[in-house]
Amino acid sequence: MSLSEITARIRAEELRSGRVPGCVNLIAVSKVQPLARVTAVLNEGHRLFGENRVQEAAGKWPALRKAYDGVQVHLLGPLQSNKLRQAMELFEAFHSVDRPKLAQGIARLAQELGHCPDLFLQVNTGEEPQKAGVLPAQADGFIAECRALDLPVVGLMCIPPADEEPTLHFALLRKIAARNDVAGLSMGMSDDFEKAIAMGATHVRVGSAIFGARAYD
């Protein structure tokens, strides 16, 4: 796979599912990838990337932002309170806001710094104990809580259970977003981004299908 193939498949699925052409944002998930693969995708003109860890992003993106105009990096992975200040400076968006304490910390720092990343609230649609995200039954309350803190809630995010049909989870996330007037839906990865687009994804997070398999050491 490559960036151009994935982009073509996204455009084709937008057409097939009656979505507005170009409405789906492709987040190229560059975590753990060798720098040469990341610069290759930058050189093809892509500018929106996703990372899982604050530390890894801090070692990579400040230099790349100097070399390439218009780069945007979204944090997809878990957010710890002790890394929050650094994360506020590194990312244009957080996709894993999942608890009131964290939301309160973001609000406090946003006041102090005068800016705030766009926020996606993570929903644990499969109610998996090991997974981050608020439970579906708590989502409405959490969205209201974040809004009461004046936080920029732009969307919801989910990672469906590995062994279940993702479409059911995408549909649940869409339903929660619709009843709360939340516009953005961050859902769909390498194996299921077309299904996510059919269910209304506005942001798909695609890693290995663009960059190749991740080599963890």
Ligand X SMILES: *Cc1c(COP(=O)(O)O)cnc(C)c1O
Task: Catalog residues that contact ligand X under the rule CB under 6 A.
Answer: 29, 31, 52, 76-77, 159, 189-190, 205-209
Q: Quick one: 66 or 216, whose CB is closer to ligand X? A: 216
Q: Determine if residue 167 is left, alpha or beta; phi over 0 gives left, psi from -120 to 50 gives alpha, anything else beta.
A: alpha
Q: Quick one: 35 or 148, whose CB is closer to ligand X? A: 35
Q: Quick one: 17 or 52, whose CB is closer to ligand X? A: 52
Q: Quick one: 156 or 209, whose CB is closer to ligand X? A: 209
Rounded to the nearest whole angstrom, what is the least distance from the CB of residue 32 to ligand X in the complex?
A: 8
Rounded to the nearest whole angstrom, what is the least distance from the CB of residue 114 to ligand X in the complex?
A: 28
Residue whose CB is nearest to ligand X in the complex, by number? 207
Instruction: Enumerate residues 6+ apart whose C-beta is below 8 A from 74.
Output: 27, 48, 49, 50, 51, 91, 92, 93, 94, 95, 203
Cα–Cα distance, 61 to 110 (Å, whole number): 21
Rounded to the nearest whole angstrom, what is the least distance from the CB of residue 189 to ligand X in the complex?
A: 4
Nearest to 174 by CA among 204, 146, 200, 211: 200
Rounded to the nearest whole angstrom, what is the least distance from the CB of residue 96 to ligand X in the complex?
A: 7
